[in-house]
Chains A and B, each alone.
Chain A
Amino acid sequence: ILNVEQSPQSLHVQEGDSTNFTCSFPSSNFYALHWYRWETAKSPEALFVMTLNGDEKKKGRISATLNTKEGYSYLYIKGSQPEDSATYLCAPDNYGQNFVFGPGTRLSVLP
């Protein structure tokens, strides 16, 4: 099974602050990396899927980068808002094997 790590496990930021999280994963047999925004007992909301080393994706105030050679990805949130509060999951896909979620980073944005 893929060993996926995310850090930090949780964090609290003030509204308006910018923040970032890290996802690290095995770089062998890499196929794609997914980022999701997830609230408990709901379906994960897809944010990005990245496939190429050096990929950068942006969606509103959220962006992500990917380094497949060293096996990590960063997710950035600029100007955090209370509605950004959620758990952010990364999920590496090594094609034909497993598709597993990292433990997640739980973000709380305080108004």
Chain B
Amino acid sequence: GAVVSQHPSWVICKSGTSVKIECRSLDFQATTMFWYRQFPKQSLMLMATSNEGSKATYEQGVEKDKFLINHASLTLSTLTVTSAHPEDSSFYICSAVDRTSSYEQYFGPGTRLTVT
């Protein structure tokens, strides 16, 4: 199957700083990438849908100025958590899909963010 990588796999940062998480499709071109967040004891929550070359579509309740998403190429999307606070500590996971050729959605391994 296709491979999606995420970097970093875990990060600890201080409150008020910004953190960038990268999501890469390694062996296919991702027309669409999704960003999810896992809240404790809950299912994965979709944060935003990102189509290459266009602005991300954010789900209701997700602050677009706080969670900056960029999908500048068909193999890379980034999520930047700006001015992070402890409540932003979570597990963030991306997924990628090539809508032109497949139904499959491929997941990255996730990034554990801890804000102190």
- Expressed in whole angstroms, the Cα–Cα distance for A19 and B7 within the complex equals 37
B42 within 8 A of A: yes
User: What size tier do the contact residues of chain B reach?
Assistant: 20 to 34
- Inter-chain contact A46/B104, CB cutoff 8 Å: yes
Per-residue 0/1 for B95-116: is the Cβ within 8 Å of any A Cβ (1 yes, 0 no)?
A: 1010100011101111010000
- Expressed in whole angstroms, the Cα–Cα distance for A66 and B92 within the complex equals 30
Per-residue 0/1 for A47-86: is the Cβ within 8 Å of any B Cβ (1 yes, 0 no)?
A: 0010100000000000000000000000000000000000
- Inter-chain contact B103/A32, CB cutoff 8 Å: yes
- Inter-chain contact B104/A43, CB cutoff 8 Å: no
Contacts of B93 in A (CB 8 A): 43
- Expressed in whole angstroms, the Cα–Cα distance for A96 and B31 within the complex equals 11
Least Cβ distance of B24 to chain A in Å?
14
Per-residue 0/1 for A30-43: is the Cβ within 8 Å of any B Cβ (1 yes, 0 no)?
A: 01101000101111
User: What size tier do the contact residues of chain A reach?
Assistant: 20 to 34
- Inter-chain contact B104/A49, CB cutoff 8 Å: yes
**Contact partner of A98 among B1, B49, B103, B112, CB < 8 A?**
B49
- Inter-chain contact A43/B38, CB cutoff 8 Å: no
Contacts of A93 in B (CB 8 A): 103, 105
Q: Which 7 A-B pairs have the closest CB atoms?
A: A43-B107, A32-B103, A104-B43, A101-B44, A103-B43, A49-B103, A101-B43
A interface residue numbers (CB < 8 A to B)? 1, 31-32, 34, 38, 40-44, 46, 49, 51, 87, 89, 91, 93, 95-96, 98-104
B interface residue numbers (CB < 8 A to A)? 1, 34, 36, 38, 42-46, 49, 59-60, 91, 93, 95, 97, 99, 103-105, 107-110, 112
Give 8 A-B contacts (CB < 8 Å), ordered by A residue.
Answer: A41-B91, A43-B110, A44-B107, A46-B1, A89-B43, A99-B97, A100-B46, A101-B44
